[in-house]
Amino acid sequence: MTKDELKIVFFGTPEFAVESLDALIKNGFNVAAVVTMPDKAAGRGQKLSQSAVKKYAVEHGVPVLQPVRLKDEAFVEELRAIGAQLFIVIAFRMLPEVVWTMPRLGTFNLHGSLLPRYRGAAPINRAIMNGDSTTGVTTFFLKHEIDTGDIIDRVSIDVASDEDAGSVHDRLMVLGAKLTVKTVESILDGSLTTHPQSDFTDEEPTPAPKIFKEDCHIDWSRPAEMIHNHIRGLAPYPAAWSELSFGGPEGEAQFSVKILKGRRADNAPALAPGQVVLEGKRALAGTGEGGAIELLSVQPAGKRPMPGADFLRGLRAAEKGLNLWFL
């Protein structure tokens, strides 16, 4: 079978998936259609917004399917009529069995972790939030339980101690595109081998559940290293946050502040967990153990991102007698 004869349907939504779609097309593979999320209203004007995958597909003349329900009979029949031998899923919804069992050569997924570590919706964020020094991408065939299928291939990268989720996301996006092409080539030439996930570790699989707003709240009683990892694991989006009090730890919250970038502060004064001070040119917040966190970039509610020291200077806390505290 040639690249032209192998019909592929590509399932994906965000920018992370576009890199692999682009790599497939540039390498001459026959992407017969893409399946992506329906357009949704966004912004003040509630204008319809297209997914990154749809925008790319339209620009490159690839047919687009946007089902509301993946089990819808009309969609399933439309999909079946394409006659694709292979489905590829990257950053998309969980597929029903009637869909992922359809193609003769199977359905494989590209996942942003070294499975079986970090099964779930937020593998990149969770790995960095946990302070992992290594992560990667994995291709595997779909089966009933999410992210549990037999592994086709994995590639790892090292993660720097000050690297955030945005940087790791972008590196894995490029690495994942190369692995996607390599995986399709192995399917096409018959060299593919698969292994159960248990072959790669004796540890229990780790979850990577979807991140909600409360997951992003910073607990300043935790050690500095854990808070540092929490901040960089959520940067630049959805971002770690705290509420700022002007009256100490027992005061009322005035507004929320996103902490976009921080680092462990050397030679910092002793601070209580959550206590916020301006020391020279540094904005510092106390932690439960291991010193303070220097607030390098913050975003107060309703405002643009700014250096932490500029933010504190703008509050004029000392002049006003304010006792600043993150709750």
Three-state secondary structure string covering 238-251? CCEEEEEECECCCC
| Residue with tokens 């790892």, as numbered in its chain | 156
Q: 57: pLDDT confidence band, cut at 50, 70 and 90?
A: very high
Cβ-proximal residues to 280 (8 Å cutoff; 6+ apart), any chain = none
- CB 230, CB 129: distance < 8 Å: yes
| Mean of all residue pLDDT scores within the chain | 95
Q: How far apart are CA 21 and CA 177, in angstroms?
A: 8
Residue pLDDT, tens place only, 277-324: 999 999 999 999 999 999 999 999 999 999 999 999 999 988 888 999
Same fold flag, 7-200 and 213-326: no
Q: What is the CATH number of domain 213-326?
A: 3.10.25.10
Q: Phi, psi (5° rounding) for residue 143?
A: -145, -170
282-286 vs 276-279, strand pairing mode: antiparallel
Residue 218: Cβ-neighbour burial (10 angstroms; 0-12, 13-18, 19+): buried
Residue pLDDT, tens place only, 83-127: 999 999 999 999 999 999 999 999 999 999 999 999 999 999 999
The whole-number pLDDT of residue 184 equals 98
Q: Is the peptide bond before 14 cis (omega within 30 degrees of 0)?
A: no
Domain map (residue ranges) of the chain: 7-200, 213-326
Q: How far apart are CA 133 and CA 206, in angstroms?
A: 16
- CB 316, CB 232: distance < 8 Å: no
Q: Which CATH superfamily is domain 7-200 in?
A: Formyl transferase, N-terminal domain (3.40.50.170)
The whole-number pLDDT of residue 98 equals 97
- Residue 44 scores a pLDDT above 70: no
**Out of 43-47, 190-194, 269-273, which region has the weakest mean confidence (pLDDT)?**
43-47
Residue pLDDT, tens place only, 16-28: 999 999 999 999 9
Q: 203: pLDDT confidence band, cut at 50, 70 and 90?
A: confident
- Closest by CA position to 322, among listed 245, 243, 269, 220: 245
